[in-house]
Structure 1
Amino acid sequence: MSYAPATSPLLLPLPDTLTPPLNHYPWLPAGRYRSGQTLAARFPVPAGYQRVAVAPGSFGAWLREVPLLPTGTAVHLHNSKLKDRQDVHAAVLDLDVGTRDLQQCADAVIRLRAEYQFSQNPDQVHFHLTSGHDIRFQDWYQGRGFRVVGNDVVPTPKSVEKPDHATFRRYLDQIFTYAGTLSLSKELRPMPLAQVQPGDVLIRGGSPGHAVLVLDVATQPATGRRLVLLAQSYMPAQQVHVLKAGPQPKAGAWFNLEADKQHVYTPEWTFSRHELGRFE
């Protein structure tokens, strides 16, 4: 992967909306969503490129309109301290990180995938723990919890709760505690770089491991070249941020994804070309 040159395309004013479409971003307080503060609005494609088509209602379509914090926002850790490196991000997602050191790299991917699923149908949300156990949100809120005993996961009764977003966040904190890059990598189907789509994940499972989410993809029709927008959290847990495509102050955020190269370089991790996966 190399860095796409920064561009300064003409930006047309975008109307603001007061509520997200169909409540697709339910963690936001009422009235906070603004269509002019989304990924698509902030990062137009460079000249000669166009965004790839995504199906309405798909994970890729949802990511394309994900809300961002204002331009210039710094990345903070879960304890409100600043991330040491403030030179690797182009934007910060308008998404809470929590107060515990949980929402790290794989957890951020899980969080966004789960939030999308929750916005569509909460009962479809489920993730595997590192142990391999499949933990469904529906079981969780209906009173079927779990506890970890050594290397085993034991079904444990818990209180029945409403399937609202607060309950969902408590469920996710449990997933974050016992899942990671290894378990997440097993939920993904390997994909070639040349077929990258919004919602795919660059991931190395293990310890250490890392995961970066592909937020959006643009293509150059004349050549087939693809650019991608990437997002990550890291250690310690920190706000999810759109990665900056290079060390230059005006590098922009679009990465040039070169499918014939052996490695994919991101500011804080280098992936193999074989480490791209897609949710089933």
Structure 2
Amino acid sequence: MKLFSRIFNQNQITNFRFKDWIFLFLIFFAIQNLFAESIQERFLPPNEFKRVEYANNSFATYLQNFPLKPKGSTVSLYNGKIKTNQVHVAVLDFPLLKADLIQCADAVIKLRAEYLYSLKQYDKIHFKISNGMDVAYSKFVKGERVQVNGNKTHWKTGKFTQGTGREVFEEYLKFIYIYAGTISLKSELKKKQISDLKPGDVWVEAGSPGHVVLVVDKVTGKGGQTLFLLAQSYMPSQEMHILKSENIFSPWFEVPKDETFPTPEWEFPTKEIYEFTD
């Protein structure tokens, strides 16, 4: 009886401590996320440079304030494995699906959609898919869905979930991830001059495969020099991350002056820079 009593008491103590550790871990995790650094908080402008500020509700400001995972975080793939080629300086707090769906173009689409969703601008959330069909979130909200037969698509009605809740929003995004890509994304963007570069702009090379990188911050110097930060996802589906550059201002990139713009995992034609129009 004494032995049983002693074991029981030890188990009680062990369980109590384990629960304490779990509780403390949850508190730490909550505090850590509450005070998570944003892009502009972690990456201060280099000497002699000043961050460009934009309107409070702009896509540019949304990106500059996007939260980052803790310093030193590695880039994980959708299946939990670690990305082989670690070419980043920071990882966006950017949850993935447990499927190989959110790749480069999809990640940009997700950020744009999340931005508009946060403002409740539901009618502005629409993206083209590979056959050219413009798929509006507002139709999903009303209970409509897209029927896909080969390369042909049409809207259908039925007993589908309606409303602007996350369930319908996530269902909409998953559909877009499956049927959109660099080609469809490029088709709905507006080409622009590199001299007017701002957060929210993308370099995109359409193809199978193609690639997209997103400008997420911008600073300017006294002499008019512009530097910017780039973020990407890639193949297979992986967390979005801020890329390293290969100049003295790294991770900040300089505006490319040559015909091509090399990034750690892709080289773009410099002129292939685009912006969202809505």
TM-score (norm 1): 0.84
Residue 100 of structure 2 corresponds to which residue in structure 1? 101
Alignment pair present for 1:72 and 2:55: no
- Determine the C-alpha separation between the residues in 2 that align with 1:161 and 1:182: 30
Comparing 39-48 and 184-193, the one that deviates more: 184-193
Offset at residue 109 of structure 1 (A): 0.5
- Determine the C-alpha separation between the residues in 2 that align with 1:140 and 1:32: 35
Offset at residue 123 of structure 1 (A): 3.1
- Determine the C-alpha separation between the residues in 2 that align with 1:186 and 1:117: 20
SS at structure 2 position matched to 1:111:
helix
- Determine the C-alpha separation between the residues in 1 that align with 2:250 and 2:194: 21
- Determine the C-alpha separation between the residues in 2 that align with 1:230 and 1:194: 16
Deviations 1:173-218 (A, max 9, x none): 1001000000100111111222111110010112121000000111
Distance 1:251 1:227, change over 3 A: closer
Residue 215 of structure 1 corresponds to which residue in structure 2? 216
Residue 277 of structure 1 corresponds to which residue in structure 2? 274
Residue 89 of structure 2 corresponds to which residue in structure 1? 90
User: Quick check: 2:36–2:68 contact (8 Å CA) kept in 1?
Assistant: no
Offset at residue 253 of structure 1 (A): 1.5
- Determine the C-alpha separation between the residues in 1 that align with 2:250 and 2:164: 39
Deviations 1:83-120 (A, max 9, x none): 1112x011000010111100000001001011001011
Offset at residue 163 of structure 1 (A): 1.0
How high is the sequence identity, in percent, across the aligned residues? 40
User: Quick check: 1:264–1:270 contact (8 Å CA) kept in 2?
Assistant: yes
SS at structure 2 position matched to 1:123:
helix
- Determine the C-alpha separation between the residues in 1 that align with 2:81 and 2:74: 10
Comparing 170-179 and 118-127, the one that deviates more: 118-127
Alignment pair present for 1:264 and 2:254: no
Residue 139 of structure 1 corresponds to which residue in structure 2? 139
Offset at residue 271 of structure 1 (A): 0.5
Residue 14 of structure 1 corresponds to which residue in structure 2? none
SS at structure 1 position matched to 2:178:
helix
Residue 253 of structure 2 corresponds to which residue in structure 1? 255
Residue 189 of structure 1 corresponds to which residue in structure 2? 190
What is the aligned-residue RMSD (CA, Å)? 1.9
Gaps of 5+ in 2: 1-28
Distance 1:173 1:36, change over 3 A: closer
- Determine the C-alpha separation between the residues in 2 that align with 1:215 and 1:171: 24
Deviations 1:20-52 (A, max 9, x none): xxxxxxxxx987754551000110010011112
Tell me which amino acid in the other structure corresponds to 1:269.
Answer: W
Alignment pair present for 1:150 and 2:147: no
User: Quick check: 2:202–2:212 contact (8 Å CA) kept in 1?
Assistant: yes
